[in-house]
Amino acid sequence: MEAFLRVAEHKSFRAAAADLGVTPSAISQAVRALEGRIGVALFTRTTRSVGLTEAGERFIQSARPAFEEIVVAGRAASALGAKPSGLLRLTVPRAVVPIVLRPLLAPFAAAYPDVTVEISASEERVDLAIEGFDAGIRLGEAIAADMVAVRLTPRFRLIVVAHPDYVARAGRPKRLEDLGSHACIRIRNATKGLANWRMKDDKGVTEVVVSGPLIVHDYASMLDAALGGAGLAQVPEPIARQYLQQGQLVEVIERNAPSLNGVFLYFPDRKQVAPKLRAFIDHARAFSRAGRKGAAASPLL
């Protein structure tokens, strides 16, 4: 197409070849291939001149603006590979938003004004490629083995908490066996089944079947229910920390709390990561390192 347009512009195969930095023979072959595909001659050729046929005139009327649009589209796509810009789509569980995203989104937006971040907060595990996401953020245990995973937080515990009023009313469980007599808030996992509680015992980490009057679909709702005195809740320690510090929640059966691998950003194994995603990875890593150095109050610890 480009060969055709340059020949039409210069009215010369030789001048078009010089313009594109190729041989006249290459230009001639490209134009013949195009004419063969269309099924009609586009140029009238003599030993001294080259001119468009009627079919060539009609073809160029549509071909030139279409080709110019392709060039513009190519430049726009190339710009996305040159610097952090464009739409960055992330899929994130609701509970991770306060742990990781809330504190770092504002400084990221300030540092990279040409990147628009779209957050899809859902517990559903999605196919990044099919759903059009650049990356996801999940607990390490929930990430498929074929993904590239970047650590965003240290390991943390999965703890059982309750409102002080519930403990005063129902008693404080001291052993795993005591959970059977308590109202335990349960969560329905991504496969639509009811998730058992993961607890640590003398043999390692085991699953404990619990029961209770309330079923939720995410940790944020489980935490809210516990704050309302509905029963015991098992949640990641970071999302409960401020409520423990304020006395709105208390931790129970502490010695049986298992350790989780932490929160990771993950994405498909690509040879080249888009600048917008690379910028977000670097920003999140820097924020995480600053939190580990600075402060016990950091939301990433």
Q: Give the pLDDT of residue 97.
A: 79
The answer, yes or no, to whether residue 298 has pLDDT greater than 50, is no
Confidence label for 147 from pLDDT (cuts 50, 70 and 90): confident
* Mean local confidence (pLDDT), 238-244: 92
Identify whether 147 is part of a domain.
yes
Q: Give the pLDDT of residue 190.
A: 64
Sequence-distant (6+) residues with CB within 8 A of 16 are 3, 6, 7, 9, 10, 27
Identify whether 299 is part of a domain.
no
The answer, yes or no, to whether residue 287 has pLDDT greater than 50, is yes
Q: Are 79 and 71 in contact (CB under 8 A)?
A: no
| Arithmetic mean of pLDDT over the chain | 85
Q: Give the pLDDT of residue 301.
A: 31
Phi, psi values for residue 195, rounded to 5°: -80, 130
Q: Give the pLDDT of residue 48.
A: 77
Highest mean pLDDT: which of 62-66, 128-132, 249-253, 274-278?
A: 249-253
Angle between helices 13-20 and 24-38 (to 10 degrees): 110
Identify whether 166 is part of a domain.
yes
- Give the residue, 209 or 152, on which the prediction is more confident: 209
* Mean local confidence (pLDDT), 221-238: 94
Range of 280's domain? Answer: 86-155+262-294
Highest mean pLDDT: which of 64-78, 141-155, 192-206?
A: 192-206
Q: Give the pLDDT of residue 56.
A: 85
Q: Give the pLDDT of residue 130.
A: 84
Are 60 and 138 in a shared domain? no
SS3 content of the chain, % helix, strand, coil (to 5): 45, 25, 30
Are 184 and 248 in a shared domain? yes
- Give the residue, 173 or 148, on which the prediction is more confident: 173
The answer, yes or no, to whether residue 82 has pLDDT greater than 70, is no
Identify whether 186 is part of a domain.
yes
What's at 153, amino acid-wise?
T
Terminal CA-CA length for the chain: 58
Q: Give the pLDDT of residue 178.
A: 94
Task: Among 82, 102, 136, identify where a domain stops.
Answer: 82
Task: Among 82, 115, 140, identify where a domain stops.
Answer: 82
The per-residue pLDDT for range 12-62, each reduced to its tens digit, is 888 888 988 899 899 999 999 988 888 888 888 877 788 888 888 888 888
Q: Give the pLDDT of residue 198.
A: 92
The per-residue pLDDT for range 184-229, each reduced to its tens digit, is 999 987 666 788 999 998 888 999 999 999 999 888 899 999 999 9
Confidence label for 96 from pLDDT (cuts 50, 70 and 90): confident
Identify whether 30 is part of a domain.
yes
Percent of the chain with pLDDT over 90: 35
pTM (global) more than 0.85? no
How many Å apart are CA 259 and CA 6, to the nearest integer? 66
Q: Give the pLDDT of residue 78.
A: 62
Are 173 and 217 in a shared domain? yes
Highest mean pLDDT: which of 65-69, 145-149, 209-213?
A: 209-213
Residue 96, Cβ neighbours under 10 Å: how many?
27
Residue 123: CATH number of its domain? 3.40.190.10
Q: Give the pLDDT of residue 185.
A: 96
Identify whether 300 is part of a domain.
no
How many Å apart are CA 79 and CA 264, to the nearest integer? 28
Are 11 and 102 in a shared domain? no
- Give the residue, 20 or 178, on which the prediction is more confident: 178
Q: Give the pLDDT of residue 299.
A: 37
Are 23 and 170 in a shared domain? no
The per-residue pLDDT for range 105-143, each reduced to its tens digit, is 888 999 999 999 999 888 777 888 888 899 998 888 778
Are 51 and 129 in a shared domain? no
How many Å apart are CA 3 and CA 61, to the nearest integer? 15
